[in-house]
Amino acid sequence: MTPSVAEVSDPATPSAAEVRRRLRRPPPPWRFRLARLYERLVNTAIAGAIGWGLAFKGLAKTGQAGASEWTALWLSVLAAVVLLKVLLAFGPVFAGRDRMFWVLSSPVDRAALLSPRFLGLLGFGAAVGAVWPAVVFGVVGVSAPPGVWVFAGSAAAGVAVVAGAVVLQRARLRPQNWLSVLAAAAVLALFLRSDVVAVEMIWLVPAAVPLVVVAAASLRRLNRADLSTGGALAAAVRVSVSWLDLALLGAILAERRARLLGRVRSARLRGSPVTVLVWTDVLRARRAPNGLLVWAGLLPLPALVALGGEVDWVPAVHLVAAFIATDRLAAGLKSVCRSASIRRMLGVPDRTLRLAHLVVPATGAVVWCVATATFTPHVSWLNAAVSAVGALAVVYRIATKPPLDYGVAAIDFGVLGPVPIGLVLQLSRGPLLLYLLCVLQVVLG
């Protein structure tokens, strides 16, 4: 008797759970898992206790009626825009090379394979949203204690942002430009005053449900281009964090920025070598508007800290914000300091190269500090001068830092295992100077 087709066909298609089980690494021994779990519990308990104390102290502040809610509203809008831009940079749904075959080429349900990562992203958005009211009202103060509906609405807003990012990923849109415009509008709105009270956000719960449904339905339509976008960036982040070196991540981000830019119009630059180098650095800053957006977005930060009542720390926050703003304009300085081939190709002495690429960061630091000193309470002109000079000095030390040497000796002090003193000293080049300058700012303030 001839067997039927069903009898000689291949075995049944594995389910998504079976595929995930095959791709999962073998678990370590239970002793290692117990030690790892204990370490995570201790770290979570410490971070949770510190966060609870800061949140309780922050929510006990009394803010100005109307002004605090208005500031909290636009800070929330700015945070949502930044979160959406970060999620879109990673995908947000992506698959590594080990899972790409099963997602794209196998008959296994694509949505079922991607659903764990999607659910994890939704949980991440809900957690960030639930914590955000304590953070923002802890900074600006609150006229009345926020109720549970505020936290529920904020968690729904976090879920809506994540689901919206997945929908935009499937639509293959590039909303980075109008997101930057929205972020700039939020920064400008922080300087305004209004009597609008916008703390009841429970209406975001029904608005988030359709977005989650549409995002879940779009998982099965994601293709290779959609899923492979964030894989390289996630791998770069993992390697950079593991090796304590963010240079690799910066190189990946610069490459992606150049690809999004596409092409530029060539132009012959005339003048002395220093003039040409400075003008090239200006063009580099103009072609990277996100750096200018961060520079402008940090302008109200010290004033917001002063509004929240932390007057003793305002000068130190002013210095840290000035450093971050200056660092966003130092892409050219980092490029020439970290690439010996570029320095040899330009044929200009190293001192001249560094001085020419310090013009744009120095100008940005001075303008930022002068602008913030005019409207930030508890920041004197002496504090502004220290912030400008200190921010530029820290940026220069970090940019000129040599590559990390991982072959340094480790010394065992009898506590927490061997400590690589040489590696710690290398990593402290720049941050240590920033810390000492922050102490000086607090003393001067």
Predicted model pTM: 0.80
Residue 367 confidence (pLDDT) above 50: yes
Mean predicted confidence (pLDDT) in 255-266: 71
Per-residue pLDDT reduced to its tens digit, 132-152: 888 887 777 766 677 777 888
CA 241 to mean position of chain CA atoms: 13
Q: What does the pLDDT read at residue 362?
A: 94
Extract long-range pairs of 305-311: CB within 8 Å, 24+ residues apart.
305/139, 306/376, 306/377, 306/378, 306/379, 307/63, 307/64, 307/67, 307/68, 307/71, 307/139, 307/140, 307/141, 308/58, 308/61, 308/63, 308/138, 308/139, 308/140, 308/141, 309/61, 309/141, 311/377, 311/378
- The domain spans of the chain are 16-227, 272-444
- In this structure, how many other beta carbons lie within 10 angstroms of the beta carbon of residue 318? 31
- What percent of the chain stands above pLDDT 70? 87
Give the model confidence (pLDDT) of 97-133 as tens digits.
777 777 777 777 777 788 888 899 999 999 998 888 8
Whether 298 contacts 321, CB under 8 Å: yes
- pLDDT at residue 3, as a whole number: 44
pLDDT classification of 402: cutoffs 50, 70, 90: confident
pLDDT higher than threshold 50 for residue 68: yes
Question: What's the length of the chain?
Answer: 445
Evaluate if residue 263 carries a pLDDT over 70: no
Confidence grade of residue 286 (pLDDT, cut at 50, 70, 90): confident
Percentages helix, strand, coil for the chain (3-state, rounded to 5) are 70, 0, 25
Backbone angles phi, psi at 154, to 5 degrees: -70, -40
Mean pLDDT, all residues of the chain: 81
As a whole number of Å, the CA-based R_g of the chain is: 25
What mean pLDDT is predicted for residues 290-305? Answer: 87
Tokens of 415: 């506590």
